[in-house]
Amino acid sequence: MRWPWSRSKQLPLLHVAIDEGTGPTVVLVHGIASSTNAFENVIPLLTPQHRVIALDLLGFGASPSPAGATYTIEEHVEHLEHTLAALGIERCIIVGHSLGSLIAARYAATHADEVRGLVLVSPPVYLPPESFGDPVERTAMGLYLRAYEFLRNNKRFTMRNAAVLARLSPIRDVLEVSERNWRAFTLSLEHVIETQTAVSDIAAVSAPVQVVYGTLDPFLMPGGLRIIEQMRHVSVHRVAGGDHVIRRRMARVVATAVASVSAHAADLR
């Protein structure tokens, strides 16, 4: 859905951290409690053949945190749309990581004419526990949701452990949960990840979809991935031994997926 200009012109723009290279446009959308730093291993692989735009999501990185924001997926998509329009982007490939993959899928589902292809990296595709026939998967999904609820309700615990994980990460400043972004973190977790429509959004995308994920990613739900893997327009790349972070090996796979989408779009012209 496009918002009337009378509304969208009042929205603050998202922070654009990177706008480099020439060629087909690739937009990078990071995950929760992160920033464009999540793509530091991907960007150098893309800029030789693409215009690469990396932006911070609403409430994260250097982007604004409006006082009245509720951080629903609709709100994230609205700000993404407004920022891309301000940059004059009419057609692009979108790469979303984690939370960003859910936002990218909704954007692609509602902006079919503007998205040449979609690359979803480490997508946390979740379903209500009762939708799983396998009791093990049903229990696992329930545990994920209870864990996220615990994180939202225990600020001190969450901030302390996020700081530990950030120090251990191979990518600098890739994770931040602080007083500054606590509201964006908890509401995005609740409104986008925990209560999501990723399966129906991905099914509604008309462009090709490439999915990249690590086999050791602790945040992925195999049952949800199996559903999207069976969709005819979805191709899957599994990175053996990869986790949730886009390390160099996974970055190369992401770049290959982008090149595949770009080549497909060129063939259609």
Give 69-121 pLDDT, tens digit per residue. Answer: 999 999 999 999 999 999 999 999 999 999 999 999 999 999 999 999 999 99
DSSP state letter for 193: I
Token digits of residue 161? 């452990």
Q: Where are the beta strands (DSSP E) in 56-121?
A: 92-97, 115-121
> What is the identity of the amino acid at 66?
P
Q: Where does the pLDDT of residue 4 fall: very low under 50, low under 70, confident under 90, or very high at 90 and above? A: very low
Contacts from 133-139 at CB under 8 Å and sequence distance 24+?
134/223, 137/221, 137/222, 137/223
pLDDT > 90? residue 10: no
DSSP E strand boundaries for the chain: 16-20, 25-29, 51-55, 92-97, 115-121, 209-214, 234-239
Amino acid type, 215: T
With a cut of 70, say whether residue 1 has pLDDT above it: no
Domain that holds residue 247: 5-268
The mean of the pLDDT values for the chain is 93
CATH number of the domain where residue 254 is located: 3.40.50.1820
Written as six digits, the tokens of 119 are: 């690359």
Tokens of 163: 């700081």
Q: Domain count of the chain?
A: 1
| pTM greater than the 0.75 cutoff | yes
What value, to the nearest 5°, has the Cα angle with vertex 6 and ends 180 and 51?
Answer: 65
